[in-house]
Chain A
């Protein structure tokens, strides 16, 4: 398996523009997680899905952020409109389950977002 795939790897955009980040989880994994990493706040969980259904989106910072998972092999995180404070590295991760041997999360390489 190729692991978790994220695209793009780097994104530079201007304030006010819409940004869409994409993630393909490991095949067969039922859970998908979106994280944001910054120097100031560390690694933050934004939202996670189970079988394509959002379970907890309490970490989504504002209404400008939205996430979807239309099928088991694809998820998007959208920021509209983007602001400079959204600049961060966004990670996607997936796991088989959330109990015992199945809850190891595997991370993608991340998308480095810069909002000018």
Chain B
């Protein structure tokens, strides 16, 4: 079975500071890992994903995530946060060995304070 954990319900950072949103996962095989963002009253938007290759994945809006196999983590990062980054962030995982759907974490609410 596959699962994903986002240990923080909420993260607060000051504008201009670096931000990190944490995600850990569990799969039986090799993982495909995703980050999505949800702005108020909107659907989820794809940010980035890891399939294979370089452990550092760059995505939309200046976000990046680092795949760490030994720690089974895929933390989302941005060097300098913007107030407009305030949103709900979801990590998701699936096993690459079969036709299994994505499993989403419970989400982390990011608040960037001016």
Which residues in B have some Cβ–Cβ distance to A below 8 Å? 32, 34, 36, 42-46, 49, 51, 90, 94, 96, 99-107
Q: Cβ of B102: which chain A residues have Cβ within 8 Å of it?
A: 45, 103, 105
In the complex, which of the residues A4, A33, A108, A110 contacts B101, with contact meaning CB atoms closer than 8 Å? A33
Which residues in A have some Cβ–Cβ distance to B below 8 Å? 4, 33, 42-43, 45, 48, 50, 55-56, 91, 93, 98-101, 103-110
Q: Cβ of A106: which chain B residues have Cβ within 8 Å of it?
A: 46
**Contact present for A43 and B43 (CB under 8 Å):** no
In the complex, which of the residues A50, A56, A103, A107 contacts B45, with contact meaning CB atoms closer than 8 Å? A107
**Contact present for A56 and B43 (CB under 8 Å):** no
Q: How far is the CA of A16 from the CA of B49 in the complex (A)?
A: 42
**Contact present for A56 and B101 (CB under 8 Å):** yes
**Contact present for A105 and B42 (CB under 8 Å):** no
Return 25 A-B CB contacts under 8 Å, by A number.
A33-B101, A42-B104, A42-B105, A43-B44, A45-B102, A45-B103, A45-B104, A48-B101, A91-B44, A93-B44, A98-B94, A99-B96, A99-B99, A100-B51, A101-B51, A103-B94, A103-B102, A105-B102, A106-B46, A107-B36, A107-B43, A107-B44, A109-B42, A110-B42, A110-B43
When A and B form their complex, which 8 residue pairs have the shortest distance between CB atoms, in order from nearest? A107-B43, A42-B106, A107-B44, A43-B104, A109-B43, A98-B99, A108-B43, A110-B43
In the complex, which of the residues A43, A103, A109 contacts B107, with contact meaning CB atoms closer than 8 Å? A43
